[in-house]
A and B are shown apart, each in its own frame.
Chain A
Amino acid sequence: MNLRRIAIVAQKEWREIVRDRVFLALAFLLPVTWMLVFGYTMVFDVENIPFAVLDFDHTVQGRDFAYRFIDSRYFDFRGYLSDEHQADRLLAGAKLRLVLTIPEHFARDIASGRHAQIATTIDGTFPYRAQTIQAYAEAITRDYSAALQARYIAGRLGVSNERAAVLMQPLRLEVRYLYNQAVRSNWSVAPSLVMLTLMFVPSLLTALVVVREKESGSIFNIYSSTVTRAEFLAGKMLPGVAISFADALLLSALAVYYFGAPFKGELWFYLLATLVYVICTASIGLLVSTLVRSQNAALMIASIIGIIPAIQFSGMINPVALLEGGAWVQAHVFPAMYFENIVLGSYLKGVGGATLWTDLCVLAGYAVVLIALSYLAFHKRQTR
Chain B
Amino acid sequence: MRRFAVLTVKELKQCSRDLVLVAFTAYSFLAAVYISGTGVTQDLRNAALLVHEGTPTPASRDLLYRFREPYFRRIGTFWSPREGMRRLDDGTAMLLLDIPEDFAETLNRAARTASVQLMVDTSNVTMGYLASDYGERIAATFTQDWSQRVARRSGLDLRTVPSVENASRVWYNPDLNGHWFNAIGQWLTMMTVIALLLPATALVRERERGTVEQLLVAPLTPVQIMLSKATAMTLVNVGGTVLSVYAVMRLAVGVPFAGSAALFFATTALYVFSIAGLGLAIGSFARSSAEVGMLVILIVVPMTALSGTWTAPEAMPTWARYALTISPLYHFIDCAYGILLRGAGIRVLWGSIVALALLCFVGFALAWLRLRGQPG
User: Which residues of A are at the interface with B, using a C-beta cutoff of 8 A?
Assistant: 20, 22-23, 26-27, 29-30, 33-34, 37-38, 40-50, 65, 76, 89, 91-94, 97, 109-132, 134-135, 137-139, 141-142, 144-145, 148-149, 152-153, 156-157, 163, 165-180, 183, 185, 188-189, 200, 204, 207-208, 212, 215-216, 291-297, 299-304, 306-308, 311-313, 315-319, 321-328, 330, 341, 344-345, 348-351, 355
Shortest A132–chain B CB gap in Å is: 6
**Distance A173 CA – B135 CA, assembled complex (angstroms):** 8
Tally of contact residues, B, Cβ under 8 A: 133
B77 at interface, CB cutoff 8 A: no
Whether the pair B168, A139 counts as a contact (CB closer than 8 A) is no
Collect the chain A residues with CB atoms within 8 Å of residue B266's CB.
none
B86-101, CB < 8 A from A:
88-91
Whether the pair A173, B139 counts as a contact (CB closer than 8 A) is yes
**Distance A128 CA – B316 CA, assembled complex (angstroms):** 17
Pick 11 A–B contacts, CB within 8 A, sort by A. A42-B311, A50-B314, A65-B164, A123-B172, A126-B312, A131-B130, A135-B136, A295-B205, A295-B289, A304-B28, A326-B38
B361 at interface, CB cutoff 8 A: no
Collect the chain A residues with CB atoms within 8 Å of residue B341's CB.
125
Whether the pair B114, A125 counts as a contact (CB closer than 8 A) is no
Collect the chain A residues with CB atoms within 8 Å of residue B304's CB.
307, 311
Which residue of B is nearest A180, CB measured? B122
Shortest A173–chain B CB gap in Å is: 4
B80 at interface, CB cutoff 8 A: no
Whether the pair B197, A300 counts as a contact (CB closer than 8 A) is yes
Known: A128-B42, A212-B289, A326-B34. A171 touches B143 (CB 8 A): yes
User: Which residues of B are at the interface with A, using a C-beta cutoff of 8 A?
Assistant: 18, 20-21, 24, 27-28, 31-32, 34-36, 38-43, 45-46, 63, 88-91, 107, 110-130, 132-133, 135-140, 142-143, 146-147, 150-151, 154, 156, 158-174, 176-178, 181-182, 186, 189-190, 193-194, 197-198, 201-202, 205, 208, 286-298, 300-302, 304-306, 310-312, 314-317, 320, 334, 337-338, 341-344, 347-349, 351
Collect the chain B residues with CB atoms within 8 Å of residue A177's CB.
120, 122, 128, 132
Collect the chain A residues with CB atoms within 8 Å of residue B198's CB.
296, 300
Whether the pair B193, A304 counts as a contact (CB closer than 8 A) is yes
Known: A22-B286, A127-B42, A128-B130. A204 touches B89 (CB 8 A): no
Collect the chain A residues with CB atoms within 8 Å of residue B320's CB.
37, 40-41
Shortest A228–chain B CB gap in Å is: 25
Whether the pair B163, A175 counts as a contact (CB closer than 8 A) is no
Whether the pair B315, A47 counts as a contact (CB closer than 8 A) is yes
Whether the pair B165, A94 counts as a contact (CB closer than 8 A) is no
Whether the pair A170, B146 counts as a contact (CB closer than 8 A) is yes
Known: A22-B291, A127-B43. A188 touches B113 (CB 8 A): no
Task: Choose one: A117, A176, A294; the contact of B117 (CB below 8 Å).
Answer: A176
Known: A118-B166, A156-B156, A157-B156. A168 touches B147 (CB 8 A): yes
Which residue of B is nearest A321, CB measured? B46
Shortest B350–chain A CB gap in Å is: 9
Task: Choose one: A27, A47, A139; the contact of B294 (CB below 8 Å).
Answer: A27
Kindly name the residue among B21, B202, B304 whose own CB sees the greatest number of chain A CB atoms within 10 A: B21
Known: A176-B117, A177-B132, A179-B123. A169 touches B337 (CB 8 A): no
Whether the pair B164, A145 counts as a contact (CB closer than 8 A) is yes
Shortest B322–chain A CB gap in Å is: 12
Collect the chain B residues with CB atoms within 8 Å of residue A127's CB.
42-43, 173, 176-178, 181
- Closest 10 A/B residue pairs (Cβ): A327-B39, A296-B201, A124-B173, A173-B139, A135-B133, A326-B35, A26-B294, A295-B289, A124-B170, A141-B166
Task: Choose one: B34, B147, B300, B317; the contact of A303 (CB below 8 Å).
Answer: B300
Whether the pair B119, A178 counts as a contact (CB closer than 8 A) is yes
Which residue of B is nearest A169, CB measured? B113
**Distance A42 CA – B12 CA, assembled complex (angstroms):** 37
Which residue of B is nearest A355, CB measured? B90
Whether the pair B162, A149 counts as a contact (CB closer than 8 A) is yes
Collect the chain B residues with CB atoms within 8 Å of residue A348's CB.
123
Task: Choose one: A167, A301, A325, A327; the contact of B150 (CB below 8 Å).
Answer: A167
Which residue of A is nearest B91, CB measured? A341
Known: A47-B314, A148-B163, A311-B310. A171 touches B115 (CB 8 A): yes
Whether the pair B293, A149 counts as a contact (CB closer than 8 A) is no
Shortest B121–chain A CB gap in Å is: 6
Shortest A139–chain B CB gap in Å is: 7
Whether the pair B122, A172 counts as a contact (CB closer than 8 A) is no
Whether the pair B129, A46 counts as a contact (CB closer than 8 A) is yes
Whether the pair A121, B193 counts as a contact (CB closer than 8 A) is no
**Distance A308 CA – B43 CA, assembled complex (angstroms):** 20
Shortest B332–chain A CB gap in Å is: 12
